[in-house]
């Protein structure tokens, strides 16, 4: 199993803008993390110029930030348009994606047009996929306004929409030109979305950095109180770990799959309940508890470590018990997971703490895990 | 302007299977051209193994060849499924694309599943785009059964679907694992589709190889009579030229756009008449006549050369006069062409014969060209 190199060990910065570089050859880009970045024209310096730009956002985030982003971009593009999509995972679908294409075509947007994704993971995934496909590829910039998007979905180039038969089944690997994480936008985040983001932050401890898990245990109260210095460090460290993993394996042929820790059980919960009923981060939080238990039952970590992960997730207020879908339904849903091969489910497991790997698990053990946590 | 290197000058082979290699680093692949390749299991040796494979075809080609391809693949995949889409450019759309995704998900197809595109350009473009997007990318193989697809759409990795507001507006650059051109499948091709394919074959002369244009003039009767040796050479030479151009510029940032000779006017004809009313190749044939005239009016070739191109296209029986949409409508439709930038139409022009380049043209000259050919 892989472990993250020592030179990436935590180096907290207490103020200013942090930059995390994603090294992917000619698809490299920077993640900027700081306060007030969204409004600052300098944030966008060096990005591709185009006469037309399109901000894609949703009906919740748009009214809060779209006009501010338009103003900040006024010197960079002649015309900055806005498309507002309906808000919610249930709209991460073809009709909403097609709305972006229709708006672009109605404005005669060409293949140099830059798209800006302003919102959470759904907006980011859809805008990225629209950018990947519009005229076979136009540049795009991520401006994530949720913690979840800042630490996870806006980093690494995975874009997608859902299919009624499976989450994120239709998509592309497509890298943004830049990611702009403005800590100030987290002020307006509903509490349950903050927690959903913390689930993904917590994830990086067990899979890659035991020391970071300790830092999270020590700083969870500050994070829950939205202390900006704590958030900056948590986001920066999460992005560093994700950047390292994605740099090793951009197309998810191996190592990158460890980022899906908690996601196999989590996707089954989301799909089983109908997309939108559980927040993605809530399902992942619960999925991590189940995957930790699975790792313990497979003898890869001890019971105490599994309980430690569960306890940290519980402290945030995230659910640690899945819906009672029945083991058969969980297993059926997990078999269409993208990590499955020939119908065999492959789980991300922990062991030792701070390292992760992938493996199948005996059916009986999986059923025990489901029984214990639903 | 670029000209194709001398080592790619014509070298007719009169029998056997010809191989043209497309050199794109880790996305390189071979084009096989020969008789009876479709039925021969050896044709598929070395392609990615997967337990499930899906042949995507249409209701015209499927009944002729799908069972034969299934049989040839029986030793390579455990399960070879078939999806039949409705036939026609008007079905190159989201509902048909989504049918492929739904069939894949219903069969629990995983990210190793191989797709086979069996049919013409529409099937190839849609299957390739489905392969690019399904679980963010699965391998696919082109088995083109039309001359047009064999010399053009199956080579070079452009995949797409249409949007009501524009042709091929939603797509990806995504390379196949192999292209299998079986000359025998051309026996069942309707005559108007043979001519549509010849339009794209003719294209390669003016833009890249004046000698090939001479060969076409000398061998047009044999091509129209479907002489296999003549077809083999025409397909091989077309693929060689396209391979060279695509190898220089995979993502169409520059040189590759010369392959769109005739396509700017042609797309306007297709869109203006409603997709499917004119065959793509018919529209391109007529578009080449218009683009040759434009080149002459811009002083890049002489009148005689423009007439020579027109005469060769006329000999095939392809239309050389566009529909009377009016100049305003032509220009409006050409402004949403993917090669346009900031609303300025960029035309592929010839000059001297055997070399091509891109440039805008004065509005009055474009209107003269439209008036003279509609």
Q: Report pLDDT for A11.
A: 47
> Å from B314 to nearest chain A CA?
32
What angle separates helix B191-208 from helix B303-316, to the nearest 10 degrees? Answer: 160
Q: Which domains does chain A have, with CATH numbers?
A: 6-188 (3.40.50.1970), 191-373 (1.20.1090.10)
Place of tokens 């290699």: B21
Q: Label each residue of chain B as H, E or C.
A: CECCCHHHCCCCCCCCCEEEEECCHHHCEEEEEECCHHHCHHHHCCCCCCCEEEEEEECCCHHHHHHHHHHHHCCCCCEEEEEEECCCHHHCCHHHHHHHHHHHHHCCCCCCCEEEEEECHHHHHHHHHHHHHECCCCCEEEEECCHHHHHHHCCCCEEEEEECCEEEEEEEECCCCEEEEEHHHHHHCCHHHHHHHHHHHHHHHHHHCHHHHHHHHHHHHHHHCCCHHHHHHHHHHHHHHHHHHHHHCCCCCCHHHHHHCCHHHHHHHHHHHCCCCCCHHHHHHHHHHHHHHHHHHCCCCCHHHHHHHHHHHHHHCCCCCCCCCCHHHHHHHHHCCCCCECCECCEEEECCCCCEEEECCCHHHHHHHHHHHC
Which residue among B136, B165, B341 sits closest to A102, beta carbon to beta carbon? B165
Residue list, annotated binding site of B for Zn(2+)? 200, 263, 280
> Could you tell me how far CA B236 lies from the centroid of its own chain?
14
Are the CB atoms for B282 and B192 separated by under 8 Å? yes
3-state secondary structure of A291: helix
Q: Nearest CA to B162 among B263, B261, B94, B87?
A: B94
Share the mean pLDDT of chain B: 92
Give the residue from chain A lying closest to B345, CA to CA: A110
Chain B hits for A338, Cβ within 8 Å: 110-111, 135-136
List the Cα angle A365/A370/A372 in 5-degree steps: 95
Residues A110, A50: Cα–Cα separation, whole Å: 9
Task: Provide the ipTM.
Answer: 0.87
Contact B110 A342 (CB under 8 A): yes
Contact B102 A165 (CB under 8 A): yes
Q: Which of A26, A96, A100, A136 to mutate to test the interface with B (most CBs of B within 10 A)?
A: A136
Place of tokens 């999460």: A238
A200 included as an active-site residue: yes
Quickly count: other Cβ atoms within 10 Å of residue B350's Cβ: 27
Reported confidence tier of residue B5, pLDDT bands at 50, 70, 90:
low
List the Cα angle A145/A149/A155 in 5-degree steps: 125
Are the CB atoms for A348 and A265 separated by under 8 Å? no
Chain A hits for B134, Cβ within 8 Å: 169-170
Active-site pick, A193, A233, A237, A260: A260
Q: Nearest CA to A23 among A220, A184, A256, A244?
A: A244
Evaluate if residue B351 carries a pLDDT over 80.
Answer: yes
Active-site pick, A178, A280, A308, A338: A280
* A351 marked as binding residue: no
Reported confidence tier of residue B343, pLDDT bands at 50, 70, 90:
confident
Residues A280, A267: Cα–Cα separation, whole Å: 8
Chain A hits for B133, Cβ within 8 Å: 133, 170-172
What angle separates helix A121-133 from helix A94-106, to the nearest 10 degrees? Answer: 60
User: Which chain B residues touch A if contact means CB-CB below 8 Å?
Assistant: 51, 94, 98, 101-102, 105-106, 108, 110-112, 132-137, 158, 160, 163, 165-166, 169-173, 251-252, 335-336, 338, 340-343
Contact A341 B166 (CB under 8 A): no
A359 included as an active-site residue: no
Q: Report pLDDT for A1.
A: 43
Residues B20, B241: Cα–Cα separation, whole Å: 10
Active-site pick, A237, A242, A308, A373: A242
Give the residue from chain B lying closest to A164, CA to CA: B102
Are the CB atoms for B233 and B147 separated by under 8 Å? no
With a CB cutoff of 8 Å and minimum separation 6, the contacts of B97 are: B126, B129, B130, B161
Q: Report pLDDT for B374.
A: 93
Phi, then psi, of B48 in degrees rounded to 5: -55, 140
Evaluate if residue B138 carries a pLDDT over 70.
Answer: yes
Q: Nearest CA to A272 among A347, A329, A345?
A: A329
Contact B169 A340 (CB under 8 A): no
Residues B77, A196: Cα–Cα separation, whole Å: 42
Which residue among B51, B171, B336 sits closest to A342, beta carbon to beta carbon? B51
Q: Nearest CA to B322 among B285, B354, B353, B361?
A: B285
In order of A4, A21, A204, A215, the CA distances from A244 in angstroms are: 7, 9, 12, 19
Contact B110 A172 (CB under 8 A): no
Q: Report pLDDT for A5.
A: 53
> Å from A81 to nearest chain B CA?
15
Q: Nearest CA to B40 among B71, B77, B63, B62?
A: B71
Contact A160 B136 (CB under 8 A): yes
Quickly count: other Cβ atoms within 10 Å of residue A228's Cβ: 16
Contact B108 A170 (CB under 8 A): no
> Å from B341 to nearest chain A CA?
6
Using left for φ > 0, alpha for ψ between -120 and 50, and beta otherwise, residue B252 falls in left
Contact B338 A173 (CB under 8 A): no
Contact A165 B341 (CB under 8 A): no
* A245 marked as binding residue: no
A71 included as an active-site residue: no
Torsion angle (degrees, nearest 10) of CA A99, A105, A108, A110: 100
A193 included as an active-site residue: no
Evaluate if residue B23 carries a pLDDT over 90.
Answer: no
In order of A152, A232, A242, A244, B139, the CA distances from A22 in angstroms are: 13, 18, 9, 8, 27
Tell me the count of A-B CB pairs closer than 8 A.
94
Six token digits for residue B231 = 């077809």
Q: Which of B98, B128, B133, B166 to mutate to test the interface with A (most CBs of A within 10 A)?
A: B133
Residues A288, A282: Cα–Cα separation, whole Å: 10
User: Sign of dihedral through CA atoms B201, B207, B208, B211?
Assistant: positive
Q: How many separate helices (H) and strands (E) can be counted in chain A? A: 12, 11
Q: What is the pLDDT of residues B48-98, one digit of tens each?
A: 999 999 999 999 999 999 999 999 999 999 999 999 999 988 899 999 999
Contact B105 A166 (CB under 8 A): yes
A163 included as an active-site residue: no
Contact B137 A108 (CB under 8 A): no
Which residue among A136, A163, A173 sits closest to B160, beta carbon to beta carbon? A136
* A203 marked as binding residue: no
User: Sign of dihedral through CA atoms A226, A229, A230, A235?
Assistant: positive
β-pairing, B347-350 vs B356-359, is antiparallel
Contact B110 A341 (CB under 8 A): yes
Residues A20, A68: Cα–Cα separation, whole Å: 24
Please give the sequence-ordered ranges of beta strands (E in DSSP) within A92-151, or none if there are none. 114-119, 140-144
Six token digits for residue A321 = 């018990």
Q: Nearest CA to A197 among A216, A218, A215, A177?
A: A216
> Could you tell me how far CA A347 lies from the centroid of its own chain?
19
User: In what side-by-side order are the strands of the sheet with B79-85?
Assistant: B18-22, B29-34, B178-182, B140-144, B114-119, B52-58, B79-85
List the Cα angle B268/B271/B275 in 5-degree steps: 140
Six token digits for residue A179 = 């990611």
Six token digits for residue B247 = 């190898």
Indicate the DSSP class of residue A86: P
Residue list, annotated binding site of B? 87-92, 121-125, 145-146, 158, 167, 185-188, 200, 263, 280
Place of tokens 């409603």: B274
* A374 marked as binding residue: no
> Å from B4 to nearest chain A CA?
26
pLDDT in tens, chain A (374 residues): 445 554 444 444 456 899 999 988 889 999 999 999 999 999 999 999 999 999 999 999 999 999 999 999 999 999 999 999 999 888 999 999 999 999 999 998 999 999 999 999 999 999 999 999 999 999 999 999 999 999 988 788 999 999 998 889 999 999 999 999 999 999 999 999 999 999 999 999 999 999 999 999 999 999 999 999 999 999 999 999 999 998 888 887 788 899 999 999 999 999 899 877 898 889 999 999 999 999 999 999 999 999 999 999 999 999 999 999 999 999 999 988 777 777 789 999 999 999 999 999 999 999 999 999 99
Q: Can you give the length of chain A in residues?
A: 374
Beta-bridge partner residues of A135: none
3-state secondary structure of A30: strand
Residues of B belonging to the active site: 136, 158, 200, 242, 252, 256, 260, 263, 267, 280
* A368 marked as binding residue: no
**pLDDT mean over B254-283:** 90
Six token digits for residue A100 = 């972006």
User: Which chain A residues touch B if contact means CB-CB below 8 Å?
Assistant: 51, 94, 98, 101-102, 105-106, 108, 110-112, 132-137, 158, 160, 163, 165-166, 169-173, 251-252, 335-336, 338, 340-343
Residues B286, B279: Cα–Cα separation, whole Å: 11
Give the residue from chain A lying closest to B105, CA to CA: A165
Six token digits for residue A33 = 């993390």
């Amino acid at each position: 199993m892989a472990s993250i190199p020592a030179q990436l060990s935590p180096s907290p910065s207490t103020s200013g803008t942090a930059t995390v570089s994603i090294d992917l050859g000619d698809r490299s880009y920077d993640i900027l993390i700081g306060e007030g970045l969204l409004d600052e024209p300098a944030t966008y310096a060096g990005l591709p110029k185009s006469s037309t730009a399109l901000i894609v956002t949703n009906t919740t985030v748009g009214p809060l930030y779209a006009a501010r982003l338009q103003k900040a971009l006024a010197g960079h593009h002649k015309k900055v348009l806005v498309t507002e999509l309906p808000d919610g995972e249930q709209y991460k679908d073809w009709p909403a994606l097609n709305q972006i294409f229709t708006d672009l075509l109605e404005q005669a947007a060409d293949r140099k047009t830059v798209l800006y994704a302003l919102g959470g993971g759904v907006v980011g995934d859809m805008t990225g996929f629209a950018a990947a496909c519009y005229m076979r590829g136009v540049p795009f910039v991520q401006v994530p306004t949720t913690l979840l998007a800042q630490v996870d979905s806006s980093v690494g180039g995975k874009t997608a929409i859902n299919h009624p038969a499976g989450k994120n089944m239709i998509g592309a690997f497509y890298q943004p030109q830049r990611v702009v994480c403005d800590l100030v936008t987290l002020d307006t985040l509903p509490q349950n979305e903050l927690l959903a983001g913390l689930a993904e932050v917590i994830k990086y401890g067990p899979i890659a950095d035991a020391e970071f898990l300790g830092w999270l245990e020590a700083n969870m109260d500050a994070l829950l109180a939205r202390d900006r210095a704590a958030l900056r460090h948590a986001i920066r460290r999460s992005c560093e770990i994700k950047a390292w993993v994605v740099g090793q394996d951009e197309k998810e042929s191996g190592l990158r799959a460890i980022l899906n820790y908690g996601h196999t059980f989590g996707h089954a919960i989301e799909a089983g309940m109908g997309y939108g009923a559980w927040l993605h981060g809530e399902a992942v939080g619960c999925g991590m508890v189940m995957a930790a238990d699975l790792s313990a039952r497979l003898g890869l970590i001890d019971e105490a470590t599994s309980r430690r992960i569960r306890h940290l997730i519980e402290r945030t207020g995230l659910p640690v018990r899945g819906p009672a879908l029945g083991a058969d339904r969980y297993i059926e849903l997990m078999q269409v997971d993208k990590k499955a091969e020939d119908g065999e489910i492959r789980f991300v497991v922990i062991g030792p703490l701070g390292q992760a790997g992938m493996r199948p698990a005996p059916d009986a053990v999986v059923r025990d895990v489901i029984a214990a946590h639903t």
